[in-house]
């Protein structure tokens, strides 16, 4: 079953980083005409406004500050990642950003307490769902709300949506951790409206606890023995070394090596590598360089005689790490270089006291990482009611969404089956 409705029990009322400097993305502002958005609104001591991608760079410093005190961290809504991603999306898929500020004097914005990127449905196309930030390279969709003002930020965002788009019946956030505080906040919102939330595509993905939380890899003695044997054989081919690259100059070079390595494998053959589309390549270069300036990225490299044979990109924020991308040289597949890299990276991550956990960012059922990391994060796409709807009920919108996803799943299965037949 794709979706289920979650009836929330009553819960108690919600109690009420260094800023990034430099904005190279401003040099690459999108040329497409910005969407028409409403002027700022002043509501109960707050200012609520909608900002397009063309203007969002004006708020990067306040956004970065909010990210450091967010109710729940989301590295994919760090401005270094999100702005770069949005600027290189097709113009029709670029979101607007609903910003909620505390007021500070007459006509002055105070501290930012909420950032919610939204894609609004096209009018008169039968869709009544607004969607949070969705990008094929993002593994979390939780919005950014101030830890002490999250309920206000969500409520004001939904009020803006109801006033500007009364045809919208609900708001969908993708990849929300079910054990996290944002999920609880969304559930409490439904309770206040005496409604339910709907959960779509509930799934689990691998995670690795670190430091004081402890962690244990899921390999059996037999599997460890086989990996040691493969590593010895690999070492016989040349000098085997492991590097963790963090400095901006290192990241710039390593990102190019990673993209070339990925493009040389099955992703390149399928046209899904970072080098397959110029816009995606530009996004990857921009994002990795910006994250490096903030010391929030490392590129891990397993090398044979100085040549990378397996690499991984790890993003970090708020004491969490995200194993975002990995690639390996398929010429050395008999030696499991990707697993060798992941094994050494895992040992290093578990030893770090400054991290709470590492999210694998992997699809459910990923054979390699799920074998290595036995613990799981439960996530779901969460659909919450809005105040509008214009005759389209929240429940009806949920049923339409369920049908849409079911059709998409059938189409994807047929496409993959046809692709496999052509490959044979």
pLDDT at site 4 = 57
**CA 361/CA 135 separation, integer angstroms:** 13
* HEC assignment per residue over 394-413: HHHHHHHHHHHHHHHHHHHH
Residue whose entry in the numeric block shows the structure tokens 């949506």: 161
Question: For the chain, what's the residue count?
Answer: 424
pLDDT at site 228 = 96
**CA 9/CA 37 separation, integer angstroms:** 36
> Per the structure block, which two tokens stand in for 329?
């040289």
Residue whose entry in the numeric block shows the structure tokens 């049908």: 403
> Per the structure block, which two tokens stand in for 259?
């993209």
Other beta carbons within 10 Å of 363:
12
Which pairing describes strands 320-328 and 357-359: parallel, antiparallel, or unpaired?
Answer: parallel
**CA 207/CA 377 separation, integer angstroms:** 6
- The model carries a pTM of 0.86
pLDDT at site 15 = 30
Q: With H, G, I as helix, E, B as strand and everything else as coil, classify residue 40.
A: coil
pLDDT at site 388 = 57
CB 223 within 8 A of CB 47: no
**CA 250/CA 68 separation, integer angstroms:** 25
pLDDT at site 213 = 60
CB 205 within 8 A of CB 366: yes
DSSP bridge pairs for 401: none
pLDDT at site 109 = 80
Half-sphere exposure of 73 (CA within 13 A, CB side): 17
**CA 17/CA 295 separation, integer angstroms:** 11
> Per the structure block, which two tokens stand in for 231?
């590593």
Closest CA to 300 of 266, 338, 329, 264: 338
pLDDT at site 424 = 38
DSSP bridge pairs for 298: 314
CB 338 within 8 A of CB 328: yes
pLDDT at site 423 = 42
**CA 300/CA 306 separation, integer angstroms:** 13
CB 143 within 8 A of CB 132: yes
Q: Which residues does 321 contact at the CB level (< 8 Å), separation at least 6?
A: 210, 314, 315, 349, 355, 357, 358, 359
Closest CA to 141 of 113, 111, 119: 119
DSSP states of 294-359 = TT-EEEEEEEETTEEEEEEEEEEETTEEEEEEEEE-GGGGGG-HHHHHHHHHHHHHHT-TT-SEEE
pLDDT at site 22 = 41
DSSP bridge pairs for 380: 176
pLDDT at site 179 = 95
Which pairing describes strands 307-317 and 320-328: parallel, antiparallel, or unpaired?
Answer: antiparallel
pLDDT at site 16 = 29
pLDDT at site 411 = 87
Q: What are phi and psi of 393, to 5 degrees?
A: -75, 155
Q: What is the pLDDT along the chain (424 residues), one digit of tens a residue?
A: 345 544 433 333 323 233 333 444 444 444 344 455 667 777 888 899 999 999 999 999 999 999 999 999 899 999 999 999 988 877 777 899 999 999 876 667 889 999 999 999 887 667 889 999 888 899 999 999 999 999 999 999 999 999 999 889 999 999 999 999 999 999 998 888 767 789 999 999 999 998 756 668 999 999 999 999 999 999 999 999 999 999 999 999 999 999 999 999 999 999 999 999 999 999 999 999 999 999 999 999 999 999 999 999 999 999 999 999 999 999 999 999 999 999 999 999 999 999 999 999 999 889 899 999 999 999 999 999 987 555 568 888 889 889 988 998 888 888 767 766 444 3
């Amino acid at each position: 079953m794709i979706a289920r409705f979650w009836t929330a029990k009553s819960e108690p009322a919600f109690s009420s980083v260094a800023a990034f400097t430099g904005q190279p993305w401003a040099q690459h502002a999108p040329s497409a005409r910005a969407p028409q958005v409403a002027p700022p609104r002043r509501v109960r001591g707050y200012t609520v406004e909608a900002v397009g991608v063309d203007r969002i760079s004006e708020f990067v410093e306040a956004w970065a500050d909010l990210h450091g005190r967010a109710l729940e961290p989301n590295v994919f809504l760090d401005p270094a990642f999100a702005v770069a991603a949005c600027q290189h999306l097709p113009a029709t898929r670029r979101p607007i950003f609903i910003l909620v500020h505390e007021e500070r004097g007459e006509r002055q914005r105070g501290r930012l307490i909420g950032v919610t990127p939204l894609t609004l449905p096209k009018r008169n196309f039968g869709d009544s769902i607004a969607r949070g930030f969705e990008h094929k390279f993002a593994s979390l969709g939780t919005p950014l709300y101030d830890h002490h003002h999250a309920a206000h930020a969500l409520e004001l965002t939904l009020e803006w949506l109801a006033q500007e788009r009364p045809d919208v019946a609900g708001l969908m956030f993708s990849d929300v951790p079910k054990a996290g505080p944002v999920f609880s906040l969304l559930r409490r919102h439904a309770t206040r409206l005496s409604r339910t939330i709907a959960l779509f595509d509930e799934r689990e993905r691998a995670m690795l606890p670190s430091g004081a939380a402890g962690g244990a890899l899921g390999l059996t003695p037999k599997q460890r023995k086989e990996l040691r044997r493969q590593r010895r054989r690999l070492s016989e081919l040349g000098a085997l070394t492991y590097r963790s690259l963090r400095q901006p100059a290192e990241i710039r070079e390593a990102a190019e090596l990673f993209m070339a390595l990925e493009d040389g494998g099955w992703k390149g053959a399928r046209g899904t590598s970072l080098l397959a589309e110029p816009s995606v390549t530009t996004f990857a270069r921009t994002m990795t360089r910006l994250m490096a300036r903030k010391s929030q990225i490392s590129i891990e490299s397993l090398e044979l005689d100085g040549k990378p044979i397996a690499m991984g990109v790890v993003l970090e924020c708020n004491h969490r790490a995200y194993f975002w991308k990995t690639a390996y040289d398929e010429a050395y597949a008999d030696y499991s270089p990707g697993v060798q890299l992941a094994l050494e990276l895992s040992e290093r991550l578990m030893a770090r006291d400054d991290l709470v956990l590492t999210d694998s960012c992997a699809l459910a059922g990923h054979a390699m990482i799920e074998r290595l990391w036995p613990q799981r994060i439960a996530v779901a796409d969460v659909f919450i009611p809005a105040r509008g709807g214009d005759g389209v009920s929240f429940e009806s919108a949920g049923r339409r969404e369920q049908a849409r996803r079911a059709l998409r799943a059938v189409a994807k299965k047929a496409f993959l089956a046809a692709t496999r037949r052509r490959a044979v």
